[in-house]
Amino acid sequence: MFVSDFRKEFYEVVQNQRVLLFVASDVDSLCACKILQALFQCDHVQYTLVPVSGWQELETAFLEHKEQFHYFILINCGANIDLLDILQPDEDAIFFVCDTHRPVNVVNVYNDTQIKLLIKQDDDLEVPAYDDIFRDEEEDEEHSENERDESEPPEKRTRLEEEIVAQTMKRRERREWEARRRDILFDYEQYEYHGTSSAMVMFDLAWMMSKDLNDMLWWAIVGLTDQWVQDKITQMKYVTDVGVLQRHVSRHNHRDEDEENALSVDCMRISFDLPLKQVKQKFQSMDISLKENLREMIEESANKFGMKDMRMQTFSIHFGFKHKFLASDVVFATMSLMESPEKDSSGTDNFIQALDSLSRSNLDKLYLGLELAKKQLRATQQIIASCLCTNLVISQGPFLYCSLMEGTPDVVLFSKPASLSLLSRHLLKSFVCSTKNRRCKLLPLVMAAPLNVEQGTVTVVGIPPETDSSDRKNFFGRAFEKAAEGTNSQTLHNYFDLSVIELKAEDRSKFLDALVALLS
């Protein structure tokens, strides 16, 4: 069920309890976690933090800890599946789910005892009505009552015939209701999309309790920016949420008057067509003429390439007088730390390092993440250029397809979900701008990259079409499931984003053939 009063129905419930905190491996989740950790530290709430990167880790971690806890908090995982069916918890276990994944599973919505959804209901949820999805089970028919002796009086036989007709009508109504239910659920669950940032939801809770700090506001900004960087929300949704946060920024800066740790709103800078010698320097060291005319130069260059809306409202922060960061740079840095391909570090180690980089006391880790992000950005540019020059993006009919081969330079940087999804989106945008085929401009993209050479697996991601009117809804999650089922392909649907799967390389051909047939 949806929680209407987050403070009373959530925070005051767990405030005096030991809670287990499951956090997904994405930047918005980390930011929401930081805000909740700060609140827990303020009120001395005992908690255990467990990072989870997929459903298997969530199930394993729950089985390991379920005897020790009764209250569980899930951040950016659990809303879009039947959580009780997956975890099989005891009846006294309570789950608080703060998740951006949509659509929300209908069983979670209408379970009013164990599932508590920390989700803003002003989001476009479109949850089906209870009576359209659930129906009380009718009692089994007593066949023995239908068996009558031929010698029964005519009055009894007439009443029996009327009962048979009534039961036949009920069975017909039941079949019609089940058919409508299938259609309603198909329409509701067909597309995957995202709602309000979990970091923003947690900041809203802190604000309602008058415990919001400047750091919490910054984490909410970074969480929202992660959604924009990953193209998870529409531009209208982003602009609306930026406006909400901007009001908090104005309030905080007026209240704190802390010049050393101030938040501000900037325009995101995208620089190109500038002297290489100048762009390799820090901004402060560039020629004064370039710095003063930078915006005009960018807009003039953008017009040459037909690029629109080059300026996007975002935020920056100062830590002292030396350290200034854009929210988008922090997103890239944190993402690079979390999906670091280093073999010596585990997923948990990367998670903790990425979480630490969000604290102002660990700027050395943030700068390390920035260097990793620069390396990944250079690799992104080189791979996209290579894919376009060698025509690796091919049309499969209903979608575009691109596969990165083992041995491609820096391909190891793109085996994880977030980095591969980001590469795929940039590749699709670049392809749409460069191709002359009008039909291909309207197609979605399926991209594969090597995951584990020894096991012969690849990561596959599906990206919706790149159009101005795109609602950011992704249909590949359900399509991948049906294609795998229809061909018995060896797939692993383990990620919380349903449009990302693991696939055995040997099954790639038949899986793609089934996907083509399904979407044609």
Q: What pLDDT shows up at residue 230?
A: 92
pLDDT of residue 147: 44
**Which residue blocks in 129-213 are alpha helix, DSSP H?**
130-133, 143-146, 154-189, 198-208
For 404-478, strand residue ranges (E) read 445-452, 457-463
Least-confidence region, from 10-24, 216-230, 430-444: 430-444
The 10s digit of each residue's pLDDT in 360-406 is: 888 999 999 999 999 999 999 999 999 999 999 999 999 999 999 98
Residue 183 has pLDDT above 80, yes or no: yes
pLDDT, greater one: 329 or 295:
329
256 band by pLDDT with thresholds 50, 70 and 90: low
Q: Are 383 and 405 in contact (CB under 8 A)?
A: no
**Cβ 54 vs Cβ 108: under 8 Å:** no
Q: Dihedral through CA 423, CA 425, CA 426, CA 428, nearest 10? A: 120
C-alpha separations of 113 from 83, 455, 472 in Å: 13, 42, 33
For CA atoms 505, 507, 509, 513, give the dihedral sign: negative
Is this structure's pTM higher than 0.85? Answer: yes
Measured CA to CA, the distance from residue 367 to residue 378 in angstroms comes to 17
**Do you know the residue count of the chain?**
520
**DSSP letter (8 states) at residue 11:** I
Q: Judge contact between 447 and 427, C-beta under 8 A.
A: yes
**Is residue 397 a contact partner of residue 362, using CB atoms and an 8 Å limit?**
no
